[in-house]
Amino acid sequence: MADVTLSIDGQKVTVPAGMTVLEAAEKIGAFIPTLCHDPELSKPGACRICVVEIDGMRNLPASCVTAATEGMVVHTASPAVVEARKTIIELLLASHVEDCMTCQKFGNCKLADYAYYYGVKKSSFVGEQHAAPVDDSSAVIVRDTNKCVLCGKCVRVCDEIQGRHVLDFMHRGFNTIVGPAFNDGMGESVCVGCGSCVAVCPVGALTEKNMQGKGRSWEVTKVKTTCPYCGCGCNFDLNVKNGKVIGVTSNPTSEVNGRHLCVKGRFGYDFIHSSDRLTKPLIKKDGDFVEVSWDEALSYVVSRFKEIKAKDGSDAMAVLTSARCTNEENYLMNKVARVAFETNNIDHCARL
C-alpha cells in the first residue's frame, strides 16, 4: 500500500494510505482527545471531540474517521478546534450528574481530564439532567446511565470482541441510554460478567462493584501480574492499597489478552485475603494437621512417594494436572510422572 505525506501542526509525517488523521497524529505525539475511539473497535465518529481543522475543508471533521491524504494540512489545536471541543464538553456536562468528588472513576475519567485540560469549569447550557436509578443488580458491575456519554464503546466491545450483544442504545434524543434489552438490570441480562465494558468505559458509567469506595485512583499502586486461574497466561494489574489487593483492572500492554479478561480473572480475587486460605503447608501428625516449613513438607512428600513406589510399583501412582497451572508447569508434571514416577498414569482436568 502506498504511503502519503501530510502536515500536522507544521510537522511532516508519512503514513500508509488509509490511515486516519488521528492515527497519524498519534505517530508524532500530537494530542487529540477521544471518547468513542478505540483502536480495537469499529469507528463510529460519534463523540466529535476529536475534531480537527484541515485546510480546504469547510467544516471540522472527526479525525478518527477521516483518512489521511497526500498533502493534507491538519491543525489539531487551532482556535476553532479548541472552541468546538470546549462546546462539546459543555454539552456533555449539561446533562451529566455533578458528583465527581464521590465518583469511583474520579482521577481516571476522560471527561473530567478533558474538562480540566480545556478549562471548562461548568456548562453554560442549563436544562434537564438525567436522574435514572443506578443499576447494581449485577454481582460485579455497577451501571450508572446518568454518567454515560453515549460513546458506544461498551456496546461495540460486547458485540465485536465478546460476541454477547448484551448492551445497545435505546430511546431517542435526551432520553437515549445504553443498557440490556428492555432496560433490564445487568444482573437479569445474559451478561457473563467479563467486564470488558468496564475496561473501555471512559467515564464512571460502568465501574467494578467490588472496588466501590475502597480507594481513589491516586491511592492505588498497580502491579502487573499473570492470572492464576488457567494456563492461558493473561496479564492484568492488581490494584493495591495499603498492602491489600482491592481490585483488578486491565493492562493494555498484556501480550496475550490485551484488556480482555474472563469473569474469574477480573473479579475472582477475593480469595487472596480470605481467612480460610492456607498460607503454610500442613502435615497430619497424630491425627491433627500441623504447620511445618516448606522444606519439611517437600521432604515428607518425596519420602512418601518413594515408599509407595517401592511397595506397590509405579502403576500404583497417578498424576492429575490442573488447567489452573501454566502450560510449563503441566509439562513439568508430565516429566515428573514419566521420568521420576515411571508411570504413564497422567491426565488433565480439561481433557474432557
Per-residue pLDDT tens over the stretch 78-115: 999 999 999 999 999 998 998 899 999 999 999 999 99
pLDDT tens profile 37-69: 999 999 999 999 999 999 999 899 999 999 999
CB distance 199 to 140 below 8 Å: no
Which position has the grid cell 498484556? Answer: 254
Dist CA 168 CA 42 (whole Å): 15
Q: pLDDT grade, residue 34 (50/70/90)?
A: very high
Q: pLDDT grade, residue 162 (50/70/90)?
A: very high
* Whole-number pLDDT of residue 318: 95
* Percentage, residues of the chain above pLDDT 70: 99
The domains found in the chain, sorted by start residue, are 1-127 (3.10.20.740), 134-213 (3.30.70.20), 216-277 (2.20.25.90), 282-348 (no CATH)
* Whole-number pLDDT of residue 232: 83
User: How many Cα atoms within 13 Å fall on the side-chain side of residue 95?
Assistant: 17
DSSP state of 124: S
Neighbours of 306 (CB within 10 A): 11
Q: What is the pTM of this model?
A: 0.85
Pairing of strands 11-16, 3-8: antiparallel
* Whole-number pLDDT of residue 186: 96
314-332 CB burial, b ≥16 within 10 A, e <16: beebebebeeebeeeebee
For the segment 285-293, the average pLDDT, to the nearest whole number, is 94
Q: pLDDT grade, residue 352 (50/70/90)?
A: low
* Whole-number pLDDT of residue 159: 97
* Whole-number pLDDT of residue 1: 63
Instruction: Give the best-scoring range by mean pLDDT among 65-79, 113-127, 250-264.
Output: 65-79
* Whole-number pLDDT of residue 229: 85
* Whole-number pLDDT of residue 98: 85
Number of DSSP helices (H) and strands (E) in the chain, helices first: 8, 15
* Whole-number pLDDT of residue 233: 86
For the segment 315-329, the average pLDDT, to the nearest whole number, is 87
* Whole-number pLDDT of residue 348: 87
pLDDT tens profile 291-310: 999 999 999 999 999 999 99
